[in-house]
Amino acid sequence: MILKSRKHFTLFYHPKLFNTQPVNCNRNLYSKSFCGSTKFKSLHTTNFTNSKSYRSTIGENNIFRSRHEDLELPTCSVHEYVLRESHKWWNKVALACPDTGRTYTYEELRKTCGKFATSLRRQLPPGATLAVILPNAIEYPIITLGASEAGVRMTLMNPEFTALEMNRQLENSDATAVITDKSHYPRVMESIKMGNTLVRSPVIVISNTDVPPGAIDFKDLVSDKVEEFEKTLDKTKIDPLNDTMVLPYSSGTTGLPKGVELTHRNITANLCQVSCEACNSLIKAVDEYQEVIPVFLPAYHIYGLTICLFASLSQGAKLIIMPQFTSDKLLQVLEKYKTTILFAVPPVIQLLIHDNRFQSKHFATMRIIFSGAAPITLEKIAQFKAKITSDSEFSQGYGLTETSPTLTSGYGAVMESVGFLLPNTELRIFGDERNLGVGEIGEVFVRGPQIMKGYYKNVKATQDCMDGEWFKTGDLGYIDEIGQLFITGRMKDLIKVKGSPVSPTELENLLHGHEQIADAAVIGVPHERFGEVPKAFVVLKRGAKVTEEEIKDFIAQRVVKYKQLGDVVFTDKINKSPAGKVLRQELQNE
């Protein structure tokens, strides 16, 4: 699937990228699989859905609806939805830590969540905010689902933040309690001591040994002495439609990060949407079968939380939760466990392609590979297929932190697209002060039950990104005649050359196609005559020899004159976010 911190998407290059004229899409390049995602086995031929069947979902004023029937959405809390069938898999392993060998069965998971909920409610009132500052840990699902049961909202944080970054989020989120691990405890305490926060209670610490003096040991909160929350008389009254379940922060690529209020209904609606029969790729645990999924994408990222953890657990999967991601550790996991699903991001796909230790045998049992959070080129997909030589499916989708996160499913869609709209989801393409039609490129607006409540304590930012019930994604894209969505760029990343918009992603995709280039990023830089011109930062492959002029000529042969590169800089590395997005602001400062 494809998901991102701010969004999840794959990119489609088209020569008419920013014309608002209908695009003539070639949909005959990729084959469909039994579940609709593109099969690696063949990269050509197939008959796609009759376009007439999709036209019936185009409403008045060019509002595009999902081709799937609307679902009856749940009206419960997140923990109730995720664990609603856990009794069916009581003795199956739900969580496993490859480093320590520790495991939780579904019975143990359910009971431990209840104990943590009880302990939380002894410290915090319903609606209070718990800051979770953790790397991936086997306790992460227990903490998040237990907080849901206690009616305590969470704000999730990258544990590698500086003390200042932690302090800002603690202050803005109104967090009154913190949970972290022993290795990050000193920095967490440094951030709290900076002041301006509401944290007064001792920090909860996860540790296999003793915890620092003054801290609360997580083990004490889930011990045998603690009663499960559902057995207590102090029931939590949760309003799923209005109560915020989680407060992740946007990536902040267009300013300081903003708290995204996602309600219980937002999350459960999205879980229901991605798990429906038409869109679900996971096989629900039954008899001896159980999906086995390595979890290395950060759980503080909405993709990791909603999809890797919650959606997988709701289907009875066995999660191999990796506290730290390295190529060595991933190799060990793939060798030890017969994994069936892989949730990845483009940098991981890149690693799997170029690290010769990963071989086809490591993917022999894998049914589906999802890539999300950032663009991935068709060339990379083909290289990956050549490497693993299996019949694994490759699936993608699209979404944002603000959409809980998923908006589309890749089933039945060509790989250039990000798929079809999920059930209960509507979309319009806006440009030239009107809703555009099929094939016309404009800003993507979306509406559905997964759209956030708003930005926390930021009315102006919420108003700026909403048009009534419609969320303005800030992405450029179009829909074709059978309902496939194509993302062509990001509005704020556009480079204006003599007034004409140029997509940096279009140029980056072309540069990635150069046989001597390992990685590339493009930004706009000021130009006295043209306003801006594209500037490329290029990482060469080992031993490659190519000049700046040769790269400029390579691009010049493939794009109109105003899109050509004004400058090329060779560098050792392109800095990216944990989700794999290019940190363009850092490039602007170089």
7-73+272-490 and 494-588: same fold? no
Distances from the Cα of 546 to the Cαs of 505, 541, 555, in angstroms? 22, 10, 13
Q: One-letter amino acid identity for 469? A: E
d(CA 544, CA 317): 44
Query: Is pLDDT at 47 greater than 70 in this prediction?
Result: no
* Per-domain residue ranges of the chain: 7-73+272-490, 106-239, 494-588
- Quick check: 315 and 283 in contact, CB under 8 A? yes
Distance of CA 209 to the CA centre of its chain: 33
Q: Could you report the per-residue pLDDT of 440-475, keeping only the tens digit for each?
A: 999 999 999 999 999 999 999 999 999 999 999 999
Higher-confidence position of 575 and 230: 575
List, in sequence order, the alpha helices (H) in 157-303: 163-173, 185-193, 218-221, 264-275, 302
Q: What is the mean pLDDT of residues 251-278?
A: 87
Q: How confident is the model at residue 36 (pLDDT cuts 50, 70, 90)?
A: very low
- pLDDT of amino acid 167: 95
Quote the pLDDT of residue 286: 96
Q: Concatenated DSSP letters for 566-588?
A: SEEEE-S---B-TTS-B-HHHHH
In tens, the pLDDT along 16-30 reads: 333 334 444 333 322
pLDDT at 586 over 60: yes
- Residue 253, pLDDT > 60, answer no
Q: Distances from the Cα of 382 to the Cαs of 39, 43, 56, 385, 450, in angstroms?
A: 11, 8, 34, 5, 33
pLDDT of residue 229: 83
In this prediction, residues 493-511 reach a mean pLDDT of: 83
pLDDT given for residue 40 in this prediction: 37
pLDDT at residue number 375: 67
Please, which pLDDT band fits residue 306 given cuts at 50, 70 and 90? very high
Give dist(CA 228, CA 119) in Å, integer.
9
Homologous superfamily of 494-588: ANL, C-terminal domain (3.30.300.30)
pLDDT attached to residue 232: 67
Strands (E), 255-378: 260-263, 292-295, 318-321, 341-344, 368-371
The predicted model gives 144-152 an average pLDDT of 97
Contacts for 533 with CB less than 8 Å, ≥ 6 apart: 495, 497, 524, 525, 527, 565, 566, 567
Tens digits of residue pLDDT in 151-195: 999 999 999 999 988 999 999 999 999 999 999 999 999 999 999
pLDDT beyond 90 at 281: no
Residues 160, 182 contacting (CB under 8 angstroms): no
Fold classification of 106-239 is: Rossmann fold (3.40.50)
pLDDT at residue 14, rounded to an integer? 30
The pTM for the full model equals: 0.82
Q: How confident is the model at residue 407 (pLDDT cuts 50, 70, 90)?
A: very high
Range in 111-125, 222-236, 539-553, 569-583 the model is least confident about: 222-236
Inform me whether the pLDDT recorded for 31 exceeds 70: no
Distance CA 216, CA 94 (A): 26
Collect all residues with Cβ–Cβ distance below 8 Å to 117 and sequence separation of at least 6.
146, 147, 149, 150, 228, 229, 236
* 53-82 pLDDT, tens digit each: 444 577 789 999 999 999 999 999 999 999
Q: Kindly give the pairing relationship between strand 175-181 and strand 204-206.
A: parallel
Task: Write down the mean pLDDT value for the chain.
Answer: 87
- The DSSP output letter for 22 is P
354-386: pLDDT as tens digits: 999 999 999 999 999 998 877 687 888 889 989
> What pLDDT is recorded for position 347?
81
Q: Is the pLDDT of residue 52 over 60?
A: no
Confidence tier at 139 by pLDDT (50, 70, 90): very high
Answer CATH for 7-73+272-490 from 3.40.50.10470, 3.40.50.12780, 3.40.50.920, 3.40.50.300 = 3.40.50.12780
**Distance separating alpha carbons of residues 282 and 411, to the nearest angstrom:** 13
Position 549 scores a pLDDT of 97
Q: Is the pLDDT of residue 496 over 90?
A: no
pLDDT tens per residue, range 186-226: 999 999 999 999 999 999 999 999 999 999 999 999 999 99
**Can you tell me whether residue 470 is helix, strand or coil?**
strand
